[in-house]
Structure 1
């Protein structure tokens, strides 16, 4: 038994979710991780599943009765489950939109019903094509046509934020919104279009690094350990409730320069090649020239500061790419194949509190 609050982390087997699970367990907090394993991986929870205060549940945030049960059994909710990554959003826009809106509505309704506080994960995509900066939490959203699939993700996450705010205003739900700006680090898959894992894998394998568009577009990248530190700092502050916070780095770099630094970090001879957006994503793709966060609000409330810089991020990405390439050569599969879990849903599993697998019903996503 423990006197610590019990957390439900949706998307707990995912990239950020699994790191948060580890951090909460390290603090002595009991944790339940809910994940349908469509993009998350059980390997991400290898350490957590040996912990006595951890439970894994294989299921979907679209499963209302399951979400209601788990929220009722926990004290706090961190809602990270979402369809993410430009590649996935472009290829499966309807499925992504449904997961990101209906899933959040299901979680918010359960949290309201049981009186549980929620941290909702949102995204810098909220700002759309707004390339001014740095962007603060009140900066304008500038979006293209609704017919462009890229903006369906931004719109879905805006709906999520609106749901959280309206549940707070009308029903008193204690909610906090966090907007992630390009999180990178160990356990991140290159399968869904994330640029640094993709560059690192290409560099390690001696393949050309494919830069989309002109390469002059700039971004900022934050190590996942710093993201988790920010989340934990907000979890501990009741005054964060009802507020929205950007979580990101202000270390800005163009994608062309990022490719060059990745090649240097990997000690690779890979060339850098430009690929048009049409070739990479199909006709009509739209992007923004610049995306830089203003994190003044987060820093002022919590004193948070990033501890890892871009060199640290690239070193981790290259190390992961080396390990994955070696595993591939041995015939192993360290990265989960996209959609593999959804094809296995009839073999779904949950875990009891000591991490052992037990049979469960099929998850709907």
Structure 2
């Protein structure tokens, strides 16, 4: 763990981001690197994966019924008590602390894709239309993959967003899209910044980045510690399992709520997404109090049945005596007293109709 863990701050507005990237201990030879290396698939492996996805994929990766969604309005959100969390889908979480709203990895578009005529389509509509989202103190981004960084959503949110908090390099993408550079703060791992009364710390993840075949790992990826007063939350972004969870838990745990990736995993890409057993171990490493599985229930990004991540992590948590919460999309969660898990996914494919 770096000795600067308690002192390092975000790159200042107007600061030299290129120099900050060059100084990063995770950056060399033109790209960022994981603390624990990941396997990079060969051309043959990528072709085999493409064949599997195109011709051998089960239809059960997509629900046949309607995902339950609790619709939200701006008035409802503004009237909601502090210390609330609303899951809007996939890894998009709306947090309310001190009367201000914070939004993680906002994706409101129909598809998690560079184009809207192809690619993974939503299983459900967002609980709130992007035009109705209340003013945002900070959008918090974990990395630049399309299911976490959606250009259309970022541009639509820009007029009502005070700050965009990103890992190193991701902020440069936003600025290139026209986001005011004065709104953008970029952090290396173990660096922190404050927005309102919330402290945000970029912490390590084991993943990769890139939006085209030619720009892999040119920007950093991160998980996030989110602290408000005596409350601490963890947001994983995308990650494989690694010993960094123990470091984060030792430095910042225990966490009232750990929002951990549980979905789009497969044995074909074991290093960059966690199997549910690894999600549970990460939660224990973090010294979490309540586990909230995310990165599921919205997009078809894996080869498993769409319900499987919920089923597996719920069974594992129950067997281990771990508190787990699985709110419906749009349902309010009280961070101080999270509701116990409700297996809403069991009823979805028994309902008639398909929602897109």
TM over 0.5: no
Structure with more of its chain in helix, by fraction: 1
Q: State the TM-score, normalizing by the size of structure 1.
A: 0.32
